[in-house]
């Protein structure tokens, strides 16, 4: 498939000027998108800035032909950043707390506005409602695995059952929760 070149008349190049224009027009929407994915308004602001910084750093990798493709590329970077955030968040939070480092906070008004725009309170309420609909065993297994970050071996010891049974409870709990959240996930995707 032929791709247009950024320097061709129909091309769209990622430059500091074009990225600045995309920041002004799309950073607020991207912050809402990221906040919905992370359920953390403060981190959403940081991640949104990181998306644009990464886009500038990797601007030569952009192969699109239009502003719309550049926007899609930015959201692809955002999905990647959110994925990394979810994986590293807990470890980083512990390290930051140990070192006593504080990032410049958003004001309560800024956090509240971003949380309102992203509907985070409602999303948290929906997840909690669906979680409470699971069996007690599944709820406990998910709490121990996800919130308490126990290994399957530690969970088996804590629950007094074998590791295979623990894995089954976690797997069934995740599958049941995913099924219950499926309608909400479709609604959220439609909002984005």
Helix boundaries (H) for 133-162: 136-142, 152-159
| pTM for this entry | 0.49
- Residue among 22, 7, 21, 15 at smallest CA distance from 65: 7
Give Cα 44 to chain centroid, integer Å.
Answer: 8
- Residue among 125, 24, 43, 41 at smallest CA distance from 81: 43
Give the pLDDT confidence of 42-83 residue by residue, as tens digits: 788 888 888 988 898 889 899 888 999 999 999 999 999 988
Sequence ranges of the chain with CATH classification 1.10.10.10: 119-191
Cβ contacts of 51 within 8 Å, gap of 6 or more? 30, 34, 74, 77, 78, 81
Per-residue model confidence (pLDDT) at position 131? 82
The CATH classification number of 16-117 equals 1.10.1740
Give the pLDDT confidence of 77-119 residue by residue, as tens digits: 999 998 888 777 766 667 777 777 776 667 778 777 777 777 7
Sequence ranges of the chain with CATH classification 1.10.1740: 16-117
Give the pLDDT confidence of 148-189 residue by residue, as tens digits: 778 889 999 999 999 999 988 988 888 887 777 776 555 544
Give Cα 181 to chain centroid, integer Å.
Answer: 16
Q: Domain spanning 119-191: which CATH class is it, in words?
A: mainly alpha
């Amino acid at each position: 498939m032929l791709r247009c070149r950024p320097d061709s008349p129909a091309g769209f190049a990622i430059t500091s000027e074009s990225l600045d224009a995309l920041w002004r027009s799309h950073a607020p929407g991207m912050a809402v998108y990221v906040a919905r994915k992370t359920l953390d308004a403060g981190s959403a602001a940081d991640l949104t800035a990181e998306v644009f910084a990464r886009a500038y750093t990797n601007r030569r990798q952009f192969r699109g032909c239009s502003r719309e493709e550049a926007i899609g590329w930015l959201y692809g970077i955002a999905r990647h950043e959110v994925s990394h955030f979810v994986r590293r968040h807990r470890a980083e939070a512990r390290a930051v707390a140990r070192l006593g480092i504080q990032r410049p906070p958003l004001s309560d008004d800024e956090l509240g506005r971003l949380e309102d725009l992203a509907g985070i309170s409602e999303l948290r309420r929906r997840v909690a409602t669906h979680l409470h609909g699971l069996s007690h065993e599944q709820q406990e297994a998910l709490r121990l695995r996800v919130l308490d970050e126990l290994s399957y071996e530690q969970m088996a010891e804590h629950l007094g059952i074998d590791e295979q049974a623990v894995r089954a409870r976690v797997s069934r709990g995740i599958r049941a929760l995913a099924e219950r959240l499926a309608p909400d996930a479709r609604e959220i995707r439609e909002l984005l």
